[in-house]
Structure 1
Amino acid sequence: MNKVAMQSSLHGLLVACWLLCSLAACQNGDKAGAVGNNLPMAYAQLVQLSDSDGMTQATVSNPWTKGKTLQTIRVGEPGDDKTIRPLRRVVVFTTSHCQLLAYLGLTDRIVGVCDLKYILVPDVRRKAKEGKIVDCGDAMSPNIEKIIELCPDAIFISPFEGSGGFGKLEKLGIPIIQTADYMETSALGRAEWMRYYGRLFGEGERADSLFHVVDSTYQRLKRYAATLPAGRSVLTERKTGAVWYTPGGTSSVGTIIKDANGRYAFANDKHGGSLALSFEQIIDKAGESDVWAFKYNGTRMMTRSDLLREFQGYKALRAFRTGDIYECNTSVTPYFEETPFRPDYLLREMIILLHPENNFGALRYYKRLDNR
């Protein structure tokens, strides 16, 4: 090959390399600021994680505006104006996230909570009694002065559509972790957010291990339920004012009933949230359900007489007539604490409720209503 031909070939090779590098740069530019390698999420739809060299970036999608980002958080060492250090001191507004930190062995990182009287997490209540955790008041109107005194690294709080932000909390200069996990439509999708929260504390491996236990236990229970004959039909919740709110067919509870091989009148509904129905609609569609299971917050267990004082129409329900009514008093039972991040517990509960002939053990959350 002559000299001119060699120079031409070399020039062509350099141009090809330049084009490849330029293309890669353009592709990377679409993910400006991304950190390292994406961590695949098996179920969660609203949070994406990437890890690299001890740094984690989480991108939380806006549940109410498709294609928009609600929040991007970076955590790692050293912290700077774009990166927070692994959290050591946090104020937590939500009971389910207090319980998650207890599952992860991280309640020592909680320095403040809101609505302490409603939190049924033994370790949190014990530390509050010892003065290690401060009650910062009502979550809707928190004590800002107490929060400032605690000097937290971050505040965990749930966002709501159209709330207009977090008011005075946003002016404190304290990072706000928006806990939008409750907007996931699948139970395992919500639970998988523990992998994100664990990384905020530098405990990603611990959180991954716990989620593996939750997922594998859930799948094992689901496979077991599939071997059973079709279970009993169930009606959930009760009338509130003029409306009966019941889970949509593709909601987390609707899916858990399906995975328990139970029957649900609204199983074919495509809504991922709650259905707001009239009592007439409930009677027409679900009045003949075998089991009625509802939650409430009260000072004592309810009775049939209490239900009739509340609404005489309950007499029309088959489960009311047969006495197959189960109640969960959330003032003493940690349903809202445990089930968001342990959906396997709730799946087991539904299997027991809907397949009583299998003697699968005792109920964890529900109790049979007093038939007086």
Structure 2
Amino acid sequence: MGPSRHLSGVLLAVLLAATACGTPEPAAAPAPADGRCVTAYDANTDYFPVKQTLRHATNVTLAYARNYQVVTVKQPAPGARAETYVLVRCGTPAPELTGDLAGAITVETPIRSLFSAATTHLPFVTDLGVLDRLKGVASAAFITSAQVRERVTAGAVTEYASGQEIDTEKVIGAKPDVLMTGGTEDKAYGPLRQAGVKVVANAEWLESTALGRAEWIKVMAALTGTEKQAQTVFDKVEADYNALAAKVKGVTPVTILPGQMYQGQWSVSNGGSYVGRLIKDAGGTYAWADLPGPGSTTLDLEAVLAKAKDAQVWLATAPEWKTLTDVEKADARYAKFAAYESGQVWSSNKALGPEGGNDFFERGVGHPELILADLVAILHPDLAPGHQFTFYQKLTK
């Protein structure tokens, strides 16, 4: 497969011209709810009566022709070239893959079977009402959704990388319509592409805002033909998120210590990352809030102590921490932080799956309004009386 390129202004103009003024609007042909294919193709019919627009996601673009959509993922994996996918309404002809579409991957939609490489996709298929189309997951061990785990146990969903290595024969034998990546390139994807498996990148984790990550539900909707449902779901997520952010606007920011050490290093999200934006939107700030870019900075514990020893609240992501004693056992130097001394240590480990998966990393991607609600309640409890926490819990003494 040759490298794909972004849609040029010329291509976008061509696509949009099909529905522009100057000719009568063609009659819309609504996609059947059961995903049936078109049986009598009409070149003048618009087969996408519900058109999605992206308001926050910046790592993906979406454009429409009458019978197909063009999705371009700008960075499918860190450092990777853009990939373009032509999503053709089944029962209609695919366009010629020339010009800006050269090297694109053609996928018939709505897809009927999906293999998912990341748990972050699972809330999308659940919210869109297409969980029955999920046929494969990389590993069930990290899944927290009871609905998905039940389907794995029943044999309706298969594991294709339970040992952290993709079983290519299992994937090829299952013939999924799409295998959706988790935003990284696996060595097995090359052989799978050669075997005809449609590998589609989902790189929401490279977005710089939480709403941008959540908006990738619209990519799932484009694949599954559930655009109307996606619009309803995301509009509510966005409205709830913005209402919470507006509630804390103008408050005095609370200083935060984010994260903890892992294998001797402390990774701190840059201010330009979605984590940095979440903290800001919750009425918080932290020592590294001015660092640009969506990535993270790796430090040692002494460097963190030097800059954030006096932070008022510690927001950790340690699944094993339940008490302050657990914190000090992990490293005695943690007791030097002011938040430890005052007992203001919180961890996003309230909703863990039976095998250790964390719903904070699963459902939280599609529902950042729930994370923001927890953060507002932690940092500004007077603005959230009676809040019921979803992901965070305060560590006990």
| TM-score for both structures, normalised by structure 2 | 0.78
Distance 1:328 1:30, change over 3 A: closer
* TM-fit CA distance, 1:31: 5.2
Number of aligned residue pairs: 340
User: Partner letter of residue 123 of structure 1?
Assistant: Q
Aligned to 1:249: 271
Equivalents in 1 of 2:109, 2:173: separation in Å? Answer: 20
* TM-fit CA distance, 1:355: 0.8
User: Partner letter of residue 260 of structure 2?
Assistant: R
* TM-fit CA distance, 1:334: 0.8
- Return the match for 1:136 from 153, 160, 172: 160
Equivalents in 2 of 1:59, 1:174: separation in Å? Answer: 18
Q: Is it true that 1:321 corresponds to 2:341 in the alignment? A: yes
- Return the match for 1:211 from 234, 254, 264: 234
Aligned to 1:349: 374
Aligned to 1:69: 82
Is the Cα contact below 8 Å between 2:115 and 2:136 reproduced in 1? yes
Any unmatched runs of 5+ in structure 1?
1-26
Aligned to 2:172: 148
Is the Cα contact below 8 Å between 2:142 and 2:357 reproduced in 1? no
* TM-fit CA distance, 1:218: 1.0
Aligned to 2:283: 261
Q: Is it true that 1:191 corresponds to 2:211 in the alignment? A: no
Distance 1:349 1:139, change over 3 A: farther
Is the Cα contact below 8 Å between 2:117 and 2:138 reproduced in 1? yes
The DSSP-based 3-state class of the residue aligned with 1:149 is helix
Q: Write 1 or 2 for the structure with the bigger share of helix.
A: 1
- Return the match for 1:172 from 164, 185, 195: 195
Distance 1:313 1:158, change over 3 A: same
Is the Cα contact below 8 Å between 2:139 and 2:164 reproduced in 1? no
Any unmatched runs of 5+ in structure 2?
1-7, 20-50, 95-105
- Return the match for 1:108 from 132, 143, 152: 132
The DSSP-based 3-state class of the residue aligned with 1:123 is helix
- What is the RMSD computed on CA atoms of the aligned residues? 2.5
Equivalents in 1 of 2:364, 2:217: separation in Å? Answer: 13
Aligned to 2:300: 278
Aligned to 2:3: none
User: Partner letter of residue 364 of structure 2?
Assistant: T
* TM-fit CA distance, 1:127: 1.3
Q: Percent same amino acid among aligned pairs?
A: 25
Is the Cα contact below 8 Å between 1:233 and 1:289 reproduced in 2? yes
| TM-score for both structures, normalised by structure 1 | 0.83
Equivalents in 2 of 1:335, 1:351: separation in Å? Answer: 16
Distance 1:30 1:75, change over 3 A: closer
Aligned to 1:5: none
Is the Cα contact below 8 Å between 1:55 and 1:77 reproduced in 2? no
